[in-house]
Amino acid sequence: MSEENKWKYGFFLGCVAPNRYPMIESSIRAVFDHLGAEILELEGASCCPAPGVFRAFHIPTWLVIAARNITIAEELGVDIITGCNGCYGTLRDAWIELEHEPELKKMVNKHLAKVGREFKGLIEPKHIVQALYQDMGLDYLRGFVKHKFKDLKVAVHYGCHIIKPSDKRPWGGECEDPTFLDEIVEITGAKSIDYKDKLMCCGAGGAVRTAVKEVSADFSREKLENMRDAGADIIVDCCPFCHLQLDLGQMEANNIYKDMIGEPYKIPVVYLTQLLGLSFGIDPNLLGLIKNHDLKGVTPFIPIESFLEKVKSQLT
C-alpha cells in the first residue's frame, strides 16, 4: 500500500458473528487486512441493538444504545464497518435519524452525557459490502483475484436491511433489483444464478425467529426450495443472522417440514468474504473454512466440505 492507512475502519462486530459464527469474523478480518485496510477494534461495543427486537420494544432505548456504539468509533475518528445487515440497519438508521432530527439528537445526548459521551455525527456507519464496492471498487478488488472459479453456481442472498429502507441506504434508491453483491461475487469467476424470489427475506428478522421458529423456518424453506430448483452449489450471503437462518434453518426446515420438501436440504452456506478470500488466495484456515476442533453442536450446521471439495481443483 503506497498511501499509509488508505482505508481505516472501526469493526463493529455485533452479536451473531463473533458469538456464533466466528468464521465470519475471521474471514472479514483476513480479507480486509489482505486488501490493505486497517481494522480498529470498537472496544466495549454492545449489541447494535437488534432492530427487529429491541427497536420494536422501545425506540428510545434502541436509539440511545445505537448512538453510544457510534460514539466509540467517533472517538477513534473512523467510519464503522459491520458485516451484519441488522447492525447496519440499526447503526445507519439511527445515524440518519439523529442527523435529521435535532430534537432526537438533543434527547439522546442528554442521556449520553450521563456516561460522558456525546453523539456528534462525524462518522458514517457502512456495511463491509459498501466498503468493498464503493470505497475500494470492483477494479481494485479484481487486482487481488488469484484463482478464478470455473464451475461454481452461487445463489446470492442479499438479505433485507442492506438494501432497505432504500432512502436510508447508499444504493441510489435501488431496492427491487440490486446487482452490487452479484457483481462482487462474479469477480471470483463464480456464476450468480437467478432464482425465484431472490430478494425474499430469510425469515429471521423482526423478532420472528425469537418467538415463532416455525414461521421463520417456513420462510427459509421457500427460499431454499427456489435455490435448489435453480441448481445452486452454494449460498453466498453478507449477514450473519441470515447466515444462521439459512444454515441452521436448513436443519429446522428438514425437521419441521420434512413431509413437504422431499430430499433434505444440504446447501453449504458461505459468507461473502470466505468466497472472496479463497479467490484472493488467502489461507482457508484464516477464512474459517477449515474445521479444526471436535466440538459438538456448533456452527456451521450444514457441512461445507462438498463446497471445498468442488472448488479444490479450481484453485490452482
Binding to other proteins in span 87-106, by CB under 8 A: none
Map the footprint of other proteins across residues 157-196, applying CB under 8 A.
Answer: 160-161, 164-166, 175-176
* Mask for 286-305, x = binds other proteins (CB under 8 A): x-x--xxx-xxxxx------
Q: What is the bridge-based pairing of β-strands 125-127 and 153-157?
A: unpaired
The span of 121-129, 184-192, 270-278, 282-290 binding other proteins (CB under 8 A) equals 282-290
Cell of 85: 445487515
| CA 172/CA 178 separation, integer angstroms | 10
Regarding 44 and contact with other proteins (CB under 8 A), the answer is yes
Regarding 20 and contact with other proteins (CB under 8 A), the answer is yes
| CA 184/CA 129 separation, integer angstroms | 9
How far are the Cα atoms of 108, 109, 164, 215, 247 from residue 60, in angstroms, in the given order?
A: 8, 12, 21, 28, 33
CB of 187 to other proteins, least distance (A): 25
Regarding 125 and contact with other proteins (CB under 8 A), the answer is no
CB of 30 to other proteins, least distance (A): 10
Candidates 243, 306, 256; CA nearest to 27 is 243
Of positions 74, 218, 237, 252, contacts other proteins by CB under 8 A:
218
Peptide bond into 165 cis (omega under 30): yes
| CA 75/CA 177 separation, integer angstroms | 37
CB of 104 to other proteins, least distance (A): 12
Nearer residue to other proteins within complex by CB, 240 or 268: 240
Query: Could you give the angle at which helices 85-100 and 102-113 cross, rounded to 10 degrees?
Result: 110
Nearer residue to other proteins within complex by CB, 45 or 81: 45
Check if the beta carbon of residue 158 is closer than 8 Å to that of residue 242: no
Map the footprint of other proteins across residues 57-86, applying CB under 8 A.
Answer: 57-61, 64-65, 68
